[in-house]
Structure 1
Amino acid sequence: MLPKGANLQKIHNGNRTYAITPHLPGGFIKPDVLRKYADIAEKYHGVLKLTSAQRVMITGLKAEDIDKIWEELGMQPAMGFANCVRSIKICPGNIFCKRGKQDSIKLGMELDKLYHKKEMPSRMKFGVAGCANSCSEVHVKDIGVMGSDIGWDIYVGGTAGAHPRLSDLLIEGLEYDEVIRIVDVIVTYYQKNADIERMGQFIDRVGFKKFRADVLAAFYQGVSQTTEPLVPQSAEGKVLVPVAGGLTEGTLVFGDKITEESVISDIIRVYPQTVPVFRSFGMGCLGCPSATGEALEKAAGIHGLDVKEILAGLNKVI
């Protein structure tokens, strides 16, 4: 069983090491908390690693120490789904930076409060930048917000990783309250219409023209998006269109049993009811291009899991 609030980092000579990554909104941390991180890492022979999501990871930990570490940090374990809002990256903005055009900290903290760990069809990352220098990498975030002299510009569909995609400009010159509202519209539309795919893959599948028209119509009307899903969600008898983004396409179709050779992206598209089973095993591979294109046997090995045990759980629900 995976320790609560921890990720398996490495299996070496049969020994497993884990990491925890407490949430730090905006990457801000008080000096006394930072000292506590250092003391705990030293005490439990861990290593501190600054992450690209503006957090501090404590890695190299033993499973039996995880609960004690969370207790000593005085924090609840950082729990969440694999497919959720993973991070809201925030630049210093006009509060701390001479080039900042807008208050990215205020807006970013509000978005963090509203969306961090909120469940999504796939993983999602936000970026909030106070100017066009885009220090929070707006153009490679699922939802990016960039400050200008006249307000905020909204970008959608960016991603880095194995299959990088630059974001598309959705709308320019919004005020603070309008940003909060349009992000709600974007997220709602994505939740209701996307399959297990990143925002950019979803946009490429339905077309940016339609995505933009639907989102802006809902935004200007001031109502939530309520259209039916744009594609069948793994309907019986359907030959499913491969997920965009270069994932490996397997041969699994509805009615087939899942085997060790079945590709994870196929399994979760043909049998979406298997998603909770993957989660129960602590597999953070849903929506991750480097993992969903793998055969189940390979993914199980990486996670140090018994593939036969996973197979039994998966085939039980189909």
Structure 2
Amino acid sequence: MLPKGANLQKIREGNRTYAITPHLPGGFIKPEVMQKYVEVSKKYGGTMKLTSAQRIMITGLKAENIESIWEELGMQPALGFANCVRSVKICPGNAFCKRGKQDSIKLGLELDKRYIKKEMPSRIKLGVSGCPNSCSESFVKDVGVIGTDAGWDVYVGGSAGSHPRLADKLMESLDYEDTLRIIDIVMRYYQKHADIERIGQFIERIGLEKFKTDVLAEFYGEKSAPIEPKVSQSAAGEKIVPLPGGLTEGNLVFGDQITGDSVISDIIRVYPQTIPVFRSFGMGCLGCPSSAGEPVTQAAEIHGINMPELLAALNKVVPANN
């Protein structure tokens, strides 16, 4: 198991090094907190790294020092677990930037307070940009908000990674309260209906029109049609194509044995009962972009896991082998 709030960074000659990333809402940090970073990094031989999520990572750490480091920092990890709201990226907005149209700091910090670490079907990232320059990369966030002279425009379904997707515009020219309300509806709708898939993948599966119709129906107080339940096997029990819940490069179907070449996203879609198995081996990041094209062999090597043991544990819960 991973040390508290740590990520495995490297395995060299059997030695493992880890990184920790404390939570810094909006990337704002007081001088005395920065000083703690410096003192801890010096004491434990770590290196500080600015991240794309407006945080400061300390990397190059040993497992046995992680608990002491958290105590000395007096801070909390940025992530609770893999599939949650991982970050809310915020630009300076009209509080600090001459081009800012809206107060992105106020909105972004409120979104951080409401959603950070909240459990989701997959990893989720939010971006709040105070003007159309989109310095917070709102167009490639699961939920992105962009300020204009008329208010806030809300976008959904963006992502970067190995399968990039530009977000779709959901609503425009909203005030502060309505922006928070529509985002809350989007998050609840996604939680209720999605599988282990990013919002963009979820939209691709059910269709943008369906997504917008249902979400806007709740926003305007109307009723929407239910989403048809997903089926993993036909009544006759024959093999079927993997459910199209996310973008993938594999071809695993129900009834197949899991091999070293099986792609992780296929495995968890066709055999969702394998999720606790992966997590028990310390592989909690099942919704990350790499899982869409990463075979078990490669993932096991990266995480330093005994591949035969992992395969045996996975196939133990597969119906075809029981």
**CA apart distance, 1:31:** 0.5
The more displaced of 282-291 and 130-139 is 282-291
- Identify the residue that residue 232 of structure 1 maps to in structure 2: 230
- The two structures, once aligned, show a CA RMSD in angstroms of 1.9
- Contact between 1:82 and 1:285, CA under 8 Å: does it hold in 2? yes
- Identify the residue that residue 10 of structure 1 maps to in structure 2: 10
Equivalents in 1 of 2:286, 2:172: separation in Å? Answer: 32
Unaligned runs of 5+ in 1: none
5 Å-filtered alignment, 1:143-292, equals 143-221=143-221, 228-232=226-230, 234-235=232-233, 237=237, 238-245=240-247, 247-251=248-252, 253-292=253-292
- Contact between 1:152 and 1:179, CA under 8 Å: does it hold in 2? yes
- Identify the residue that residue 91 of structure 1 maps to in structure 2: 91
Letter in 2 for 1:250: N
- Contact between 2:232 and 2:243, CA under 8 Å: does it hold in 1? no
- Contact between 1:4 and 1:79, CA under 8 Å: does it hold in 2? no
Match of 1:221, SS?
A: coil
Equivalents in 1 of 2:273, 2:226: separation in Å? Answer: 20
**CA apart distance, 1:42:** 1.1
Equivalents in 2 of 1:142, 1:102: separation in Å? Answer: 20
- Identify the residue that residue 314 of structure 1 maps to in structure 2: 314
Equivalents in 2 of 1:233, 1:126: separation in Å? Answer: 30
- Contact between 1:286 and 1:292, CA under 8 Å: does it hold in 2? no
- Identify the residue that residue 41 of structure 2 maps to in structure 1: 41
Letter in 2 for 1:138: S
**CA apart distance, 1:313:** 3.2
Structure 1 runs (4+) greater than 6 angstroms displaced: none
Letter in 1 for 2:66: I
Deviations 1:97-150 (A, max 9, x none): 122111111111111111111111111100011111111111010100111112
- Contact between 1:192 and 1:228, CA under 8 Å: does it hold in 2? no
5 Å-filtered alignment, 1:47-66, equals 47-66=47-66
Match of 2:220, SS?
A: helix
Change (3 A) 1:229 1:303: farther
**CA apart distance, 1:60:** 0.6
Letter in 1 for 2:242: L
> What is the number of residues matched between the two proteins?
314
- Contact between 2:19 and 2:59, CA under 8 Å: does it hold in 1? yes
5 Å-filtered alignment, 1:76-115, equals 76-115=76-115
Match of 1:291, SS?
A: helix
Change (3 A) 1:148 1:78: closer
Equivalents in 2 of 1:282, 1:218: separation in Å? Answer: 38
Equivalents in 2 of 1:182, 1:255: separation in Å? Answer: 41
Letter in 2 for 1:249: G
Change (3 A) 1:265 1:90: same
Equivalents in 2 of 1:118, 1:272: separation in Å? Answer: 21
**CA apart distance, 1:94:** 1.3
Equivalents in 1 of 2:46, 2:261: separation in Å? Answer: 36
**CA apart distance, 1:272:** 1.2
Deviations 1:151-208 (A, max 9, x none): 1110011111112111111111111111111111111111222222111122122221
Unaligned runs of 5+ in 2: none
- Contact between 2:143 and 2:155, CA under 8 Å: does it hold in 1? yes
Match of 1:58, SS?
A: strand
Q: TM-score, normalised by structure 2?
A: 0.91
Q: TM-score, normalised by structure 1?
A: 0.92
**CA apart distance, 1:241:** 3.3
**CA apart distance, 1:284:** 4.0
